[in-house]
């Protein structure tokens, strides 16, 4: 029996999330409270419901640059230890409530030092929030520290990733506007991380095409690709014929390079036209190492369960597909290998098995 999973059942499935921004996942009510406490007066409205709607609507511009403008309000209220620890705690709680068992949540420490916090204080506050929220609500959260690609602080942030690697920081990332800011601007940071045997992912192939993906992999040595949707530009699809992969697409598939796909976010920024036309359908059928993610739960008004459910509706996916995406994500995480195996064999596989066979009669 493999009935179409409902949203309610998907929420119960033990899920894994690799691409989620801390400053893109605040609760609207928390933004309002933090703004009041800190004297931040830039919010477009102080009614939490209207604020949630405002974020979702403003993020629908079809441009990554415009989408990123909305972050000024979340970052604006995340400037103290208390605010950072609270936002991290609540993120862990919200993810656990959505049935996420392991998450890698990212943010850019350099954006949170406006009121005098050091980079170290920022990292420690977020780690504290994840640790406590994860313990109280039953989810394991690893942190990725992000450097902003238009700035020049990537080496410092990479050093931070290495310094806190045994305290919960599992990797590094670069984010921000992609066009005009190639990943090779940060080559020294990536080379340093490689010498340190550290893990990193790079936002690439979202608002810019194949050259960005090629640089991220072949020059910078990325372990994973944030989004990577534009890899379809290197796949020729003709009616009635088998899709033909170019050299870069073949390399990404052969090397099992994980794609952190974020369907709703891609539609908002114009990287894909609709869920039904999202490249994830083709890439999944070609067996790329695809994972499903939220990117920014606040800006997209979404959750990991909702992203999965949209895919179920658009592509007719069943439990086996959802399990495949989830095992892909767990295999691709930056967590210690034995912990990944434990979660796959001890939590994910049994959890999906139970949901898949729910309602069917036991064999006598
Ligand atoms: O999808 C994205 N692409 C590029 N940059 C992004 C995306 N979502 C969030 N960001 C940026 C804005 C945040 O302030 C920063 C760190 O989380 O990362
Ligand atoms: Zn992102």
Mean pLDDT of 182-198: 97
Rounded Cα distance between 298 and 74, Å, is: 10
Ligand having the closest approach to the CA of 144: 1
Establish if 363 belongs to a structural domain. no
What total number of domains does the chain contain? Answer: 1
Distance (angstroms) between ligand 2 centre and the Cα of 242 equals 31
CA-derived radius of gyration, the chain: 20
Distance (angstroms) between ligand 1 centre and the Cα of 315 equals 27
**Closest-CA residue to 350 (of 6, 13, 5):** 13
Ligand having the closest approach to the CA of 205: 1
Rounded Cα distance between 2 and 96, Å, is: 25
Ligand 1 atom showing the smallest separation from residue 175 Cα:
5
Determine if residue 199 is labeled as part of a ligand binding site.
Answer: no
| Per-residue pLDDT reduced to its tens digit, 14-30 | 999 999 999 999 999 99
Determine if residue 176 is labeled as part of a ligand binding site.
Answer: yes
Determine if residue 246 is labeled as part of a ligand binding site.
Answer: no
Ligand having the closest approach to the CA of 112: 1
How far, in Å, are 45, 201, 328, 331 from residue 256 at the CA level?
A: 45, 14, 10, 10
Establish if 136 belongs to a structural domain. yes
Note if the pTM is more than 0.95: yes
pLDDT of 361 reads 47
Distance (angstroms) between ligand 2 centre and the Cα of 206 equals 9
Establish if 265 belongs to a structural domain. yes
pLDDT of 3 reads 77
Q: Which residue out of 20, 68, 268 has the highest number of ligand 1 atoms within 8 Å of its CB and is therefore the one to mutate?
A: 68
To the query of whether residue 115 is one of the catalytic residues in this protein, the response is: no
Q: Which two tokens stand for residue 337?
A: 């290998």
Question: Which of these is catalytic: 104, 178, 206, 307?
Answer: 206
Confidence bin at 194 (pLDDT 50/70/90): very high
pLDDT of 362 reads 53
pLDDT of 358 reads 81
pLDDT of 360 reads 58
Distance (angstroms) between ligand 1 centre and the Cα of 347 equals 30
Ligand having the closest approach to the CA of 300: 1
DSSP E strand stretches across 114-229: 140-148, 169-175, 201-204, 224-227
Determine if residue 359 is labeled as part of a ligand binding site.
Answer: no
Q: Which two tokens stand for residue 281?
A: 């359908």
Q: List the 100-107 sheet strands across, edge first.
A: 15-21, 100-107, 140-148, 169-175
Mean pLDDT of 311-333: 98
Q: Which residue out of 19, 76, 150, 176 has the highest number of ligand 1 atoms within 8 Å of its CB and is therefore the one to mutate?
A: 176
Distance (angstroms) between ligand 1 centre and the Cα of 36 equals 25
| Per-residue pLDDT reduced to its tens digit, 287-302 | 999 999 999 999 999 9
Phi, psi of 156, deg, nearest 5: -60, -40
**Mean pLDDT, the chain, integer:** 96
81-97 and 119-137 helices cross at what angle (nearest 10)? 30
Establish if 58 belongs to a structural domain. yes
CATH label of the domain that carries residue 341: 3.20.20.140
- Pocket, ligand 1, Cβ cutoff 6 A: 21, 23-24, 64, 68, 71, 75, 106-108, 111, 146, 175-176, 203, 206, 265, 295-296
Determine if residue 19 is labeled as part of a ligand binding site.
Answer: yes
Q: Which two tokens stand for residue 202?
A: 């790079």
Ligand 1 atom showing the smallest separation from residue 106 Cα:
17
Establish if 362 belongs to a structural domain. no
Distance (angstroms) between ligand 2 centre and the Cα of 132 equals 24
| Per-residue pLDDT reduced to its tens digit, 79-132 | 999 999 999 999 999 999 999 999 999 999 999 999 999 999 999 999 999 999
Residue closest via CA to ligand 1's atom 5 equals: 176
Phi, psi of 354, deg, nearest 5: -60, -45
Q: Tell me, what's the ipTM?
A: 0.99
Establish if 225 belongs to a structural domain. yes
Residue closest via CA to ligand 1's atom 11 equals: 176
Q: Which domain holds residue 155?
A: 7-355
């Amino acid at each position: 029996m493999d009935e179409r999973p409902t949203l309610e059942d998907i929420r119960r499935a033990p899920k894994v999330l690799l691409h989620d921004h801390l400053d893109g996942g605040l609760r609207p009510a928390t933004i309002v409270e933090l703004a009041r406490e800190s004297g931040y007066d830039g919010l477009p409205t102080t009614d939490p419901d209207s604020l949630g709607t405002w974020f979702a609507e403003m993020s629908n511009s079809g441009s990554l640059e415009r989408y990123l403008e909305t972050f000024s309000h979340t970052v604006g209220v995340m400037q103290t230890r208390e605010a950072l620890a609270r936002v991290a705690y609540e993120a862990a709680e919200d993810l656990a409530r959505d049935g996420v068992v392991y998450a890698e949540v990212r943010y850019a420490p350099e954006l949170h030092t406006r009121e005098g916090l050091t980079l170290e204080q920022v990292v420690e506050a977020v780690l504290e929030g994840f640790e406590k929220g994860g313990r109280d609500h039953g989810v394991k959260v690893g942190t990725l520290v992000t450097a902003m690609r238009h700035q020049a602080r990537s080496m410092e942030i990479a050093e931070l990733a290495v310094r806190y690697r045994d305290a919960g920081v599992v990797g590094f990332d670069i984010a921000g506007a992609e066009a005009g800011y190639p990943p090779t601007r940060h080559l020294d940071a990536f080379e340093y991380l490689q010498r340190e045997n550290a893990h990193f992912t790079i936002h690439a192939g979202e608002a810019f095409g194949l050259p960005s993906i090629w640089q991220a992999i072949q020059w910078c040595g990325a372990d994973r690709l944030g989004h990577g949707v534009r890899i379809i530009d290197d796949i020729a699809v003709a009616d009635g014929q088998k899709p033909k992969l170019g050299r870069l697409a073949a390399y990404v598939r052969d090397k099992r390079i994980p794609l952190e796909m974020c369907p709703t976010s891609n539609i908002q920024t114009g990287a894909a036209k609709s869920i039904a036309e999202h490249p994830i359908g083709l890439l999944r059928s070609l067996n790329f190492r695809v994972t499903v993610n939220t990117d920014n739960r606040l800006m997209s008004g979404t959750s990991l369960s909702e992203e999965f459910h949209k895919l179920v509706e658009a592509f007719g996916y069943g439990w086996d597909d959802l399990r495949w995406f989830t095992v892909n994500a767990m295999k691709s995480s930056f967590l210690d290998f034995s912990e990944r195996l434990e979660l796959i064999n001890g939590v994910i596989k049994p959890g999906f098995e139970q949901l898949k066979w729910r309602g069917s009669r036991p064999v006598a």
